[in-house]
Chain A
């Protein structure tokens, strides 16, 4: 099983609902976030392109954060989810430095924190909080090892990209584009 998230940039309006839903679901302290919105504009008025998208940990198949963790706090669980065991984390910050997506932050209580694809919800058969709240329904979640899954089908039929492919981390968050 390989969990993946597919985000349709043609539908995302950048409202940040995913950010608040993650905060309230995962008790992320105010002032921090596990996911965020980016906006990029190209062109000159009035010939313009605007891309809005929701970003987070890419749960890389080749995860530098896991490799560099000196205590094993950063680890990979079933489905390829990259997690941090808070009480094994010494807060050294090596993983934060190694991540090409800037997806990790130091929690005020000392340990490093990041997106878990809402592992606790998946265990109950629920979708990640960001996916289930999104008013534009631009986020999809599922198993890429299953060729019939919605995410596999979307990647088969639609043009897509990943972020920072040059980092060679084999990210598992995909963006559908024009």
Chain B
């Protein structure tokens, strides 16, 4: 065992100085609500406050209902919000649990060594913030501000991004890019000259044909998309789902293509072949807006359904039938770009293939396909220009020519001291992301964490990552804070307000306050030329022709479109955002960079005898690993299970509900067991589990040790050479039925 400088501290294991015994000086909350439950049914006077959800990235606008004592009782969607249309998803509705969770971080904590043992000690905000500021100043003096790395997600990320830019660091990244949707943004940008963005501009409500490739709408609860998929079902749209698992969406589909994992590009090429050689593509669109169609036609000449059958196991007549269904629906057809698309390392090329199909079907910029989105630019509160850093995320990601955002794994590599490192990161701030579950290759991550001179983590919960921090700053939940205005792309632009529905529980603070307090301690006063975020929002709303008073009453404000029609009009001259201004079937840009100008199918590894491909995905009740401990959502699903095909169960001698441990191809064994769920819904060459479970921190009383952690078993990463995505679907596991940890338990 390597002796680690930074040992993981399980916060619950604290002695007398631990938070367990903290008098809750700042808490005025009555924790016993049981007896009032009886009386409460619809009788209490509840006050409503405008907010938007922070349980996932969809950020649905909502009303938080609080009682006279300030307890948040329920959350209801804002009817005027295009993200939710008055209906929150289970996680949004269950957001109250985030506020009520008694396991929350309650006060700032500082890592100290007491009697030779590392532990967390409670600190005042002044003490903790002074320490963070002095460490930041020290790093800047010694190595430059660029050596401070920011890993972030969600609203807190925005506040700390401003802090970092003001201090001279642009060394940032978020798992949402390289570990999630990055490849599709690059693939679609190369083809149509525009990112897909979030929420996706898919015109599902008006589509005649929706094609999902590994995208499991209904298990991912991306709210307005679920709602529109229902509309599409009502309207009789054809749904085609490609998935090795009978996902919920697959069960609602007219065609379910149970593909052999990792062979999607072959299917996509065969679909192109059928569309082109059966002459059922959108000829007018392709001629008017396309570039490189002839090359594409030649390229896919031999990629017949018969060719693809041998690779994908999808029967040729199924491939033809589904291609014809798309052709018949064109242009009101959507090959959905998906969201978590880092699968096999050639993901940008797969996204390109999906974009090209959309191009052939003429669906980009067409009703029932993809609409042209629009958003409102929220004006920046005036501040001096940011200092120009000498290096940042761009330099770190330089080996991936089309990386458009920071690559987390490169930040991680640059944090491990190495004489070849041109750029060296020395400290991290982690805000709102649990890296232990969001970043694969745990060994590399922990090596980087161990080498850091300083790590500060900001979160609402004692997530696994907090155990490695030097300082933990407890943020209050979204229901207890004012935040930045939400502006997101949609059919019509809108903004949404989040103000505090109640006062922060415990000794927690909003991210905006934390960032500003650190900023002032770093002498960045001119970048924080305001007292609090409310002042900023008031100014921004005034610029936008609204006011805080108005927004408090309505929560969401829509604005008229300024960029013209949502769709290309018949015969219109349209300039796409690509280098050529055309829909690029053939990408000269990729060719110049040394990549395939058109997607090519390449074989990936398949599991050896006795091993099964580890697939993972979302459950509708949880978001990432952050909601597993939420009492309301944990009540719906408190552990994940391992989906195993009945044939596999018979061969391996596994029974329903039996606990197994998993060992991957690199000999990594799951820390916790997972119960087997024998089901026909999964292929015989794969197993499946929901992501986010198997958490390591005992302080998460409901989540600790429940189910297995997929991230821990993902140690083999293929990196997308085009944009730097970390592909995670090439890991294989076998079953262990006897507790492999029983001899080494301490």
A contact set with B: CB distance below 8 Å: 10-11, 13-17, 19-21, 23-31, 33, 41, 43-46, 48-50, 52, 86, 107-109, 120-121, 124, 132-138
Contacts and interface: CB of A to CB of B under 8 A. Distances in A.
A21 B681 CA distance: 28
Interface string B152-193: 000000000000000000000000000000000000000000
B35 to A, nearest CB: 7
A23 to B, nearest CB: 6
Given A46-B258, A133-B88, A134-B87, A16 B636 contact: yes
Interface string B545-572: 0000000000000000000000000000
Given A15-B621, A133-B87, A48 B221 contact: no
B312 interface: no
B524 to A, nearest CB: 41
A17 B42 contact: no
Contacts of A49: 251
Interface string B211-222: 000000011010
A28 B631 CA distance: 13
Given A132-B87, A137-B230, A13 B218 contact: yes
Contacts of B42: 25, 120-121, 124
B683 A45 contact: yes
Nearest to B702: A30
A167 B133 CA distance: 70
- Report, nearest first, the 3 A-B pairs whose CB atoms are least far apart: A120-B42, A13-B218, A50-B251
A30 B76 CA distance: 19
Contacts of A45: 246, 258, 645, 680-684
A108 B251 CA distance: 38
A135 B89 CA distance: 6
| Number of chain B interface residues as a range | 35 or more
Interface in B37-93: 37-38, 40-43, 73-77, 84, 86-90, 93
Nearest to A18: B90
A19 B636 CA distance: 8
Given A11-B230, A135-B87, A48 B246 contact: yes
Contact of B75 (A24, A41, A52, A120): A24
A84 to B, nearest CB: 12
A50 B632 CA distance: 26
Nearest to A43: B680
Contacts of A14: 218, 248, 620
Given A45-B680, A50-B246, A24 B227 contact: no
Contacts of A121: 42
Contact of B633 (A20, A46, A109): A20
B223 interface: yes
Interface in B285-309: none
Contacts of A15: 89-90, 218, 221, 226, 620-621
27 contacts: A10-B233, A11-B233, A13-B219, A13-B248, A14-B620, A15-B89, A15-B218, A15-B221, A19-B90, A20-B632, A24-B73, A26-B41, A27-B33, A30-B632, A41-B679, A41-B680, A45-B683, A48-B251, A107-B38, A108-B34, A109-B38, A120-B43, A133-B88, A135-B87, A135-B223, A136-B230, A137-B87
B230 A24 contact: no
Contacts of B96: 24
Contacts of A48: 246, 251, 256, 680-681
A20 B233 CA distance: 25
Contacts of A23: 632, 635
Contacts of B86: 132
B369 interface: no
B224 to A, nearest CB: 9
Contact of B681 (A16, A41, A124): A41
Given A17-B93, A30-B631, A30-B635, 17 more contacts: A11-B230, A13-B218, A13-B252, A16-B636, A17-B89, A24-B94, A27-B33, A27-B38, A29-B37, A41-B681, A45-B645, A46-B246, A50-B246, A50-B251, A134-B87, A136-B227, A136-B230
B37 A16 contact: no
A124 B42 CA distance: 10
Contacts of A46: 246, 256, 258
A73 to B, nearest CB: 14
Most chain B beta-carbon contacts within 10 A, residue among A14, A15, A28, A135 = A135
Nearest to B246: A48
A3 B661 CA distance: 49
Interface in B676-694: 679-684
A166 B33 CA distance: 41
A86 B39 CA distance: 10
B90 A16 contact: yes
B257 to A, nearest CB: 9
Contacts of B74: 21, 24-25
B715 to A, nearest CB: 29
B75 A50 contact: no
Contacts of A135: 84, 87-89, 221, 223, 226-227, 230
B256 to A, nearest CB: 7
Contact of A137 (B34, B73, B227): B227
Contact of A136 (B226, B632, B633): B226
Given A14-B248, A16-B621, A27-B37, A50 B681 contact: yes
Contacts of A134: 87
